[in-house]
Amino acid sequence: MLHVENLNVHYGVIHALKGVSIDVPQGKIVSLIGSNGAGKTTLLRTISGLIKPTSGLITYENQDIISVAPAQLPMRGLVHVPEGRRIFSGLTVMENLQMGAYLRKDKAGVKQDLEKVFKRFEILHARRNQDASTLSGGEQQMLAISRALMARPRLLLLDEPSMGLAPLLVKEIFNIIREINEQGTTILLVEQNAMQALKIADWAYVLETGSIVLGGTGVELLSSPEIQKVYLGG
């Protein structure tokens, strides 16, 4: 579904991504783990068009998307939930959700998807008329994911969805990610919680200082002594 080949990104003289190649098959969860500054967020931002690569290839559903404007990608079913949630403060919970569906013309479908969101996240329904900035961190993350789902993504890019959340909420967020995938959405997940990211991954990559150094199934990487030592505290 998504193919990234020999991708290079520079920030001035800094070579942030060095010949990165990954594949995200349709219907799967692919996790990308690595330490802070490894280039994980840069990769997602490049895929979603926010950063232009120096060289390389990015295809989505067999079409080159490097030259596609970022605002056009949600119309094609590629939706990015950025690091730090980035909800719209000053807008209510309901208005944030409606912003997720701003490109859609099917009013009945939008209403149906709102009902699904409120059924899944009852707290968002209860607080639908509150300013989104008044929500807790976990509630804001639920809102950010729900806003993305309102665009009916076929491929969802998730950047650090568990960042700053309490352990119980982390578990809930990962259950939600698995559920979204089971309902047919392909997911590329960037996550510092390596244990949880590998547990739910069909396939995973390790990114270090801008380069892919390891790839395998989630199970394979969980059992790797090197991964256990560096990322799992083993």
| Tens of pLDDT, residues 37-78 | 899 999 999 999 999 999 999 999 999 999 999 999 998 999
Question: Which DSSP letter does residue 133 get?
Answer: G
What CATH number has the domain bearing residue 162?
A: 3.40.50.300
The answer to whether the CB of 33 falls within 8 A of the CB of 191 is yes
The pLDDT-based confidence of 168 (bands split at 50, 70, 90) is confident
pLDDT of residue 186 exceeding 90, the answer is yes
Query: Mean of the pLDDT values across residues 177-190?
Result: 95
| Distance between CA atoms of residues 180 and 96, nearest Å | 19
Query: Mean of the pLDDT values across residues 134-142?
Result: 90
Closest listed residue to residue 134, CA positions, set 92, 99, 104: 92
pLDDT of residue 36 exceeding 90, the answer is no
Question: Which DSSP letter does residue 72 get?
Answer: G
| Distance between CA atoms of residues 156 and 145, nearest Å | 9
Closest listed residue to residue 52, CA positions, set 40, 71, 68: 68
Which residues are CB-neighbours of 19 under 8 A, at least 6 positions away? 6, 7, 8, 56, 211
* Domain span holding position 102: 2-230
The pLDDT-based confidence of 89 (bands split at 50, 70, 90) is confident
Domain total of the chain: 1
pLDDT one-digit tens code per residue, 92-101: 999 999 999 8
Per-residue confidence (pLDDT) for residue 233, from 0 to 100: 65
Say what the pTM is: 0.92
pLDDT of residue 131 exceeding 70, the answer is yes
The pLDDT-based confidence of 234 (bands split at 50, 70, 90) is low
Closest listed residue to residue 208, CA positions, set 224, 232, 187, 230: 230
